[in-house]
A = this chain, B = another copy of it.
């Protein structure tokens, strides 16, 4: 039996050599751990919602593309439900429900698994994990800068530098002004944004034709993009990031507009400099979404970004930034004298009680096979109980890197391992 197409299995390292596309659980934990630790450093608090939500949380809020790609169905109670394709509507729902009890601004993050029924192609899965960070209740561009700084630092924490990625900063608001100046009818604004969003991927002839229906030429679009004049709020964001010493990681680029319908202000996307991969992360302001999701009850400005694990992991791999992982064993307890098995189990238990990672042969095993196993598991040391000449039980502790050996009393193994670790 096989897993569903577009879904991933995460195995412990070292990964088997196979044609099957396997993902590393250890690498996933490495990335998640960087996300969480940087978010906490920024004072963000973690939250989570259900992976299954009412379908109507997404319809008409996220834009047509995402809704057409939902994993949606009717549950056994006749409810129309969907696997979450993105986290922002859940965040908006949760924040709207209980924001009154939290001091503003909320700085919240989450690492949800998200689902889309997409056509399959390289790097396009039907699920991925996404680091989501949002700030709710602050309209000042200082919040946008804080969020973008978090995005930059989460990538830096994984070893990526300004030679690897850049955040392209733009503004849905600036494009909204363009729409108004050009008198594009309001109901066609989102369609126009989607043309801009696809600009870099679409053939110019197609774009030209689509724009013509709105009375705009491709030259006018490109002229606006190359004007490169930041709006006052974009200027404030750039200044703020410069004060943090992060100016090299961000540049103004009006080609970015974001595909989702709900953005209202500054928007941004992070890309690898070489342009080998799809966007690493993207986000922006969605000042109307909480009001919309709460049926008008809660009206708070908000902004956020999402960073998926698939593109990021591919980028990290290509830069040699994923370490090798092992079981991280501090010691492997060899049991060569089976009359000492019970006492060896007691030593294993005592070490584990003290927080030390330990493994041992579950059943009687030849001496050389045990030692080989200790090496395969990359244990730092071996521990072996043995009877001394006077019949008392002693422990032989061996450092597998230096091959130094100590003989200590049965109760001194922990102290010996700790001393050795220093």
A142 contacts B by Cβ under 8 Å: yes
Could you say which of B8, B138, B244, B327 contacts A50, with CB atoms under 8 Å apart? B8
Q: A400 to nearest B CB, angstroms? A: 15
A105 contacts B by Cβ under 8 Å: yes
A345 contacts B by Cβ under 8 Å: yes
Given A4-B54, A22-B98, A50-B7, verify A43-B142 contact (CB < 8 Å): no
- Structural contact, A46 and B12, CB atoms closer than 8 A: yes
Of A182-190, A192-200, A266-274, A347-355, which stretch is located at the interface?
A347-355
Q: A152 to nearest B CB, angstroms? A: 10
Could you say which of B10, B138, B295 contacts A48, with CB atoms under 8 Å apart? B10
- Structural contact, A362 and B140, CB atoms closer than 8 A: yes
- Structural contact, B244 and A346, CB atoms closer than 8 A: yes
- Structural contact, B17 and A358, CB atoms closer than 8 A: no
Chain B residues contacting A97 (CB-CB under 8 Å) are 2, 9, 20
- Structural contact, A345 and B3, CB atoms closer than 8 A: no
- Structural contact, A146 and B362, CB atoms closer than 8 A: yes
Chain B residues contacting A100 (CB-CB under 8 Å) are 16
**A1-32 interface bits toward B, Cβ cutoff 8 Å, 1 = contact, 0 = none:** 11111011111100111101010011011000
Chain B residues contacting A317 (CB-CB under 8 Å) are none
A373 contacts B by Cβ under 8 Å: yes
Q: A34 to nearest B CB, angstroms? A: 11
A130 to B370, CA, bound (A): 32
Chain B residues contacting A353 (CB-CB under 8 Å) are 153
How many interface residues does A have (CB within 8 Å)? 100
A79 contacts B by Cβ under 8 Å: yes
Of A69-77, A203-211, A389-397, which stretch is located at the interface?
A69-77
Chain B residues contacting A49 (CB-CB under 8 Å) are 3, 7, 9-10
A238 contacts B by Cβ under 8 Å: no
Chain B residues contacting A245 (CB-CB under 8 Å) are 346, 349
Chain B residues contacting A244 (CB-CB under 8 Å) are 345-346, 348-349
Given A11-B47, A43-B377, A83-B52, verify A57-B357 contact (CB < 8 Å): no
Chain B residues contacting A295 (CB-CB under 8 Å) are 1
Chain B residues contacting A359 (CB-CB under 8 Å) are 42-43, 107
Could you say which of B26, B56, B142 contacts A362, with CB atoms under 8 Å apart? B142
A334 contacts B by Cβ under 8 Å: no
- Structural contact, A25 and B4, CB atoms closer than 8 A: no
Chain B residues contacting A174 (CB-CB under 8 Å) are none
Given A43-B377, A103-B376, verify A127-B246 contact (CB < 8 Å): no
A262 to B402, CA, bound (A): 47
A62 to B189, CA, bound (A): 52
A53 contacts B by Cβ under 8 Å: yes
Chain B residues contacting A8 (CB-CB under 8 Å) are 50
Given A3-B49, A10-B47, verify A41-B362 contact (CB < 8 Å): no
In A316-358, the 8 Å CB interface with B consists of: 327-329, 341-343, 345-346, 348-349, 352-353, 355-358
Could you say which of B16, B50, B73, B352 contacts A102, with CB atoms under 8 Å apart? B16
A113 contacts B by Cβ under 8 Å: yes
A293 contacts B by Cβ under 8 Å: yes
Closest to A362 in B: B142
A11 to B99, CA, bound (A): 11
CB-defined A-B contacts under 8 Å, sample of 19: A1-B56, A3-B53, A4-B75, A7-B49, A15-B101, A16-B102, A26-B46, A28-B48, A38-B352, A42-B359, A43-B327, A43-B377, A51-B51, A51-B113, A51-B127, A75-B117, A243-B343, A244-B349, A246-B349
Other A-B pairs beyond A1-B294, A52-B83, A243-B346, 11, CB < 8 Å: A5-B77, A9-B97, A10-B48, A10-B49, A15-B101, A25-B46, A43-B377, A52-B71, A77-B117, A140-B363, A244-B348
